[in-house]
Chain A
Amino acid sequence: MTTQSLTREAAHAAVADALRRVVPDADLESCPPDVNLREEFELDSLDWVEFVENLAKRTGRRIDEDDYASLETLQDSVDFLSRPGR
């Protein structure tokens, strides 16, 4: 899979979509960009794997376990996804 960097808007939309598939009523708009997503939306490890799975599927990007630390907040996630892939 070729990984292209996304625009920040596209990255934001991808995160919002991936999250809403796990937590249908998640409201990212009113969520500060620097809060921890797992804590804010009470994601357990299965929810988290599902979120990452959704994100990988939607963006076509490979996301390893080592990358999880780069996805902790909305801000981090957008930064990560809008950086050029390896």
Chain B
Amino acid sequence: MAALSEFTMPSLGADMDAGIVLEWLVKPGDAVHRGDIVAVVDTAKAAVDVECFTSGTVQEILVDPGRSVPVGTVLATIAVPGEAGPAAVPTALGGTTASAQARADGDGHLVCSPLVRRDAARLGVDLVTVHGTGVGGRIRREDVEHLAHPGQASGRVPEVPAAPAARRRVSPYARRLARELQVDLAGAAASAVDGAVHAAQVRAAAEAAATVTSAAPAPAAGAREIGAAQRQAAMRATIAGLMARSKREIPHYYLSTTVDMSAAMSWLRDRNRELTVADRLVPAALMLKATALAARRVPQLNGSWRDDRFVASPAVHLGVAISLRGGGLVAPAIHDADALSVHDLMAALKDLVARARTGRLRGSEMSDPTLTVTNLGEQGVESVFGVIYPPQVALVGFGKVLDRPWAVGGLLGVRPTVCLTLSADHRATDGFTGARFLDLIDHLMQRPEEL
């Protein structure tokens, strides 16, 4: 007998008490895997793609789209196959046999291993277009490889449905979304990050189409987007609540220093000469990398304040404050930013900003930043002393890169500089630790080639 696992309304950040399921992407009987996006949840700030954390079969959907429910409410149940004995087959599946299930409803719910799904995602292959050669039509890794690199792998080339759109690298979720939003995939731009079409590009294409003709396509069943004005008000109220809590509970202390950016700027200049415009780096990529490395070396500032004590985070998930067009702010995380190369960090940053503004963020990105960076210098201010996002204990601010007079070796020169600031929670650390942290970022920025 299978065990039942509960899929609950997740907490997507300290500022979230309740959420609305906008849309279910699964139905009873569907096989789901850990990490699959199963629902779109609306918080005051954004519509967020929510992943599930167990693998199994969706048993029952308990909360209909459109209803606001508190964090922790059971939204659906998932039957997790037991180690012994046959898995309970939900009645919704009816008399579906194993082999029929393998091709399912032709809608992406195909029987294949997580490994195959990951390969397909990496290669940009839509599993619907893959001809499974395994037992009962099961898709094997070779089948995915065949489709991605026809003729390269050994063995016969599988039959591929010759749909024109299938020639483009389109993520399965993007394909489904395109169908729902009635977007022509041929008209969707490819992601700058990997050249494939993802959900964000489909949404962008849908938005572009909607602005051309005011007769927007009918929304997907169950999706009830909150009006723009209403979202504005909700976003404002959420920011108000969280920031008031921060200033009420957190005794902030503030530090600042001025960093010589000449090494960083000339390194960027040299690098960017060799890079195509799509891969070009901006100073923010170096700033984020230096901050992430410094956070790893000064763990007292990287984590959260819970139950009257500081809990250090083993990973550095760097929150990035992103202003939204039309007002408001989100600060989703770049996971394990300290382990990414500057180029990967740049790609992650572009992807995150694009999804924050046009597409959707993922639940995990919203819920777990360990330290946040604000780069308000982009808007022209010399320095920014931010308000800490609870339960985090610090916030790093970068101002505008400005040419300033700079004394070095007894001589006065003009150098590009940036004002680097830290707002930190005095309950968790003292100024000494904060000062060491800023000094470390400064030192790291002087050796951009090592970042």
Contact = CB atoms under 8 A, between A and B. Distances in A.
Do A and B belong to a common assembly?
Answer: yes
Interface of A: 21, 23-25, 42, 44-46, 49-50, 52-53, 56, 63-65
Contacts of A23: 325
B280 interface: yes
Interface in B271-296: 272-273, 277-278, 280, 282-284
Given A21-B204, A44-B375, A50-B192, 5 more contacts: A24-B208, A25-B211, A42-B325, A44-B378, A45-B284
Contacts of A46: 282, 284, 349-350, 353
Q: How large is the interface on B (under 10, 10 to 19, 20 to 34, 35 or more residues)?
A: 20 to 34
A85 to B, nearest CB: 15
A65 B284 contact: no
Contacts of A45: 282-284, 378
Given A44-B379, A65-B272, A49 B280 contact: yes
A44 B376 CA distance: 9
A45 B398 CA distance: 13
User: Interface on chain B toward A: helix, strand, loop, or mixed SS?
Assistant: helix
A53 B192 contact: yes
Contacts of B349: 46
Contacts of B278: 53
B106 to A, nearest CB: 33
Contacts of B325: 23, 42
Nearest to B278: A53
Shortest 4 CB-CB distances between A and B: which pairs?
A44-B378, A45-B282, A53-B277, A56-B277
A25 B207 CA distance: 11
16 contacts: A21-B189, A23-B325, A24-B204, A24-B207, A24-B208, A42-B379, A44-B378, A45-B284, A46-B350, A49-B277, A49-B350, A52-B277, A53-B278, A63-B277, A64-B273, A65-B273
Contacts of B350: 46, 49-50
A65 B269 contact: yes
B372 to A, nearest CB: 17
A65 B273 CA distance: 7
A52 B375 CA distance: 21
Most chain A beta-carbon neighbours within 10 Å: one of B269, B277, B349, B350? B277
